[in-house]
C-alpha cells in the first residue's frame, strides 16, 4: 500500500518523535522514505538578506535530512533526501505530486511547538492542498502504536469516505486489525423542526455503516458498527477515541457537501488538530 512515503522534517523534537512511527510503517511496507527539508523563503527576514542566509538554511537542511537518513539506515529503511527552497506547504505537496509519493507523513507540531493549535498550520495546509493521502502524527504524548490493531473510519457514505474506508481495510487486512465504522448524525445545522425527522436520519446512517462494514467483512476484516447523533461530528469522533482503543483514524477530506476540504475548521482538520492518535486523511479522487 505504501511504497513511497514522504516525510517533511525540520529536525525539531516533534519531527523526531513522529519519525520513529514513520520508520515502523516504512519497515513493515518495505517502503522508501523521501526525506524533505524546505528552506522557507517566504519570510521577509529571509528574502531581504539575500543568498547568504539561504545558504545557511540549506546547509542546516542537509544536516537534518542526512541525520534522518542515518536513523533510517539503522532500521534497514531506504531513503532519498532533498532540500528545496520555497513556501513549506506548497513545496511539500508539489514534491509529493512530482515524485509519485503514496502518502505524506507529517507531524502536527514543528519547531514552534504551536503548530497543531493554530488554524493554517503547515500540517493543515498540507492536508488541505494534498492530492495524496496525508498521515498526520501527534508527537506530544499521543499514542503511536504499530501495527495498527483498531482503525476508526468516520463515514457519511460519500465517495471520499469510501476511499478512506478502502485504505483502512487494506491496512487492517495486512495486520489483522479491526475496523470501527462510525457515522455521526450531525444535529448542529438542524433547526428544531428537523428533529422530528431524526429517526430517518439515524436509519440512513445505520445503512451507511452497515454497507461500510460489509466492505470490510468481504475482505476478511472484522468490523464494529456505531451510529451516534451529535452537534459536532469532530467532538463525537474525539469521544469515540477516548472510549475505545483506536490506533488510527482514516477519513476523507471532503464530505457530502463537496466543499469540506477547503474550509478552515472542517471535520477532517479539527480531527487532525485534536486526535491523540495518527490520522490518515484521504482526498477525493478528483483532487489527484
- Model confidence pLDDT, tens digit, residues 122-136: 888 899 899 999 999
pLDDT of 47 reads 47
pLDDT greater than 90 at residue 261: no
- Spatial CA neighbour of 249 closest among 257, 238, 260: 238
pLDDT of 110 reads 54
Three-state SS at 17:
helix
pLDDT of 191 reads 52
pLDDT of 256 reads 57
Q: What is the mean pLDDT of residues 55-65?
A: 88
Q: What is the Cα 79 distance to its own chain's centre?
A: 21
3-state DSSP: the chain helix, strand, coil percent, rounded to 5?
45, 20, 30
- What pTM was computed for the model? 0.89
Per-residue confidence at 121, pLDDT binned at 50, 70, 90?
Answer: confident
| Distance separating alpha carbons of residues 249 and 167, to the nearest angstrom | 11
Per-residue confidence at 257, pLDDT binned at 50, 70, 90?
Answer: low
Least confident range from 143-147, 207-211, 226-230, 248-252: namely 143-147
pLDDT of 194 reads 53
User: What domains sit in the chain, N to C, each tagged with a CATH number?
Assistant: 4-137 (3.40.50.620), 150-287 (3.40.50.620)
CB 84 within 8 A of CB 9: no
Burial track 134-157 (b if 16+ CB lie within 10 A, e otherwise): bbbbbbeebebebebebbbbbbbb
pLDDT of 263 reads 45
CA dist list (Å): 30 to 4, 150, 204, 232? 9, 22, 40, 39
Task: Tell me how many degrees the CA angle 201-225-244 measures, rounded to the nearest 5.
Answer: 115
- DSSP letters of 233-254? HHHHHHHHHHHS---EEEEES-
| Distance separating alpha carbons of residues 109 and 123, to the nearest angstrom | 8
Q: Give the tens place of pLDDT for each residue, 193-243.
A: 555 568 888 999 999 999 999 999 999 999 999 999 888 899 999 999 999
Mark out the alpha helices in 30-81 (DSSP H runs). Answer: 44-47, 51-74
Q: What is the mean pLDDT of residues 5-13?
A: 91
% of the chain beyond a pLDDT of 70 = 82
Provide the mean pLDDT of the chain. Answer: 86
Q: Give the tens place of pLDDT for each residue, 13-48.
A: 778 889 999 999 999 999 999 999 998 776 554 444
pLDDT of 114 reads 41
pLDDT of 255 reads 59
Please enumerate, as own/partner, the contacts of 254-259 that have beta carbons within 8 Å and a separation of 24 or more. 254/158, 254/160, 254/283, 254/284, 254/287, 255/156, 255/158, 255/160, 255/161, 256/156, 256/157, 256/158
Q: Are strands 4-8 and 103-107 parallel, antiparallel or unpaired?
A: parallel
pLDDT greater than 60 at residue 84: yes
Amino acid at each position: 500500500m505504501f511504497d513511497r512515503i514522504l516525510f517533511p522534517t525540520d529536525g525539531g523534537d516533534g519531527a523526531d518523535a513522529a519519525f520513529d512511527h514513520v520508520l515502523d510503517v516504512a519497515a513493515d511496507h518495505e517502503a522508501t522514505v523521501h526525506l524533505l527539508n524546505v528552506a522557507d523563503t517566504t519570510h521577509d527576514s529571509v528574502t531581504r538578506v539575500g543568498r547568504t542566509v539561504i545558504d545557511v538554511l540549506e546547509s542546516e537542511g542537509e544536516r537534518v535530512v542526512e541525520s534522518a537518513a542515518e536513523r533510517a539506515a539503522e532500521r534497514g529503511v531506504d531513503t532519498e533526501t532533498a532540500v528545496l527552497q520555497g513556501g513549506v506547504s506548497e513545496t511539500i505537496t508539489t514534491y509529493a505530486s512530482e515524485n509519485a509519493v503514496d502518502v505524506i507523513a507529517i507531524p502536527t507540531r514543528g519547531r514552534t511547538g504551536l503548530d497543531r493549535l493554530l488554524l493554517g498550520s503547515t500540517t493543515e495546509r498540507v492536508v488541505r492542498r494534498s492530492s495524496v493521502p496525508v498521515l498526520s502524527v501527534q508527537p506530544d504524548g499521543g499514542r503511536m502504536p504499530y501495527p495498527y490493531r483498531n482503525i476508526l473510519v468516520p463515514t457519511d457514505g460519500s465517495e471520499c469516505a469510501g476511499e478512506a474506508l478502502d485504505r483502512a481495510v487494506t491496512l487492517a487486512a495486512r495486520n489483522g486489525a479491526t475496523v470501527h465504522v462510525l457515522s455521526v448524525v450531525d444535529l448542529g445545522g438542524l433547526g428544531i423542526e428537523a428533529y422530528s425527522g431524526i429517526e430517518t436520519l439515524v436509519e440512513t446512517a445505520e445503512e451507511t455503516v452497515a454497507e461500510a462494514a460489509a466492505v470490510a467483512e468481504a475482505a476478511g476484516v472484522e468490523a464494529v458498527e456505531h451510529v451516534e447523533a451529535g452537534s459536532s461530528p469532530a467532538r463525537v469522533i474525539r469521544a469515540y477515541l477516548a472510549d475505545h482503543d483506536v490506533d488510527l483514524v482514516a477519513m476523507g477530506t471532503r464530505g457530502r457537501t463537496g466543499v469540506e476540504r477547503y474550509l478552515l475548521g472542517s471535520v477532517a482538520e479539527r480531527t487532525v488538530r485534536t486526535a491523540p492518535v495518527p490520522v490518515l486523511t484521504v482526498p477525493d479522487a478528483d483532487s489527484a
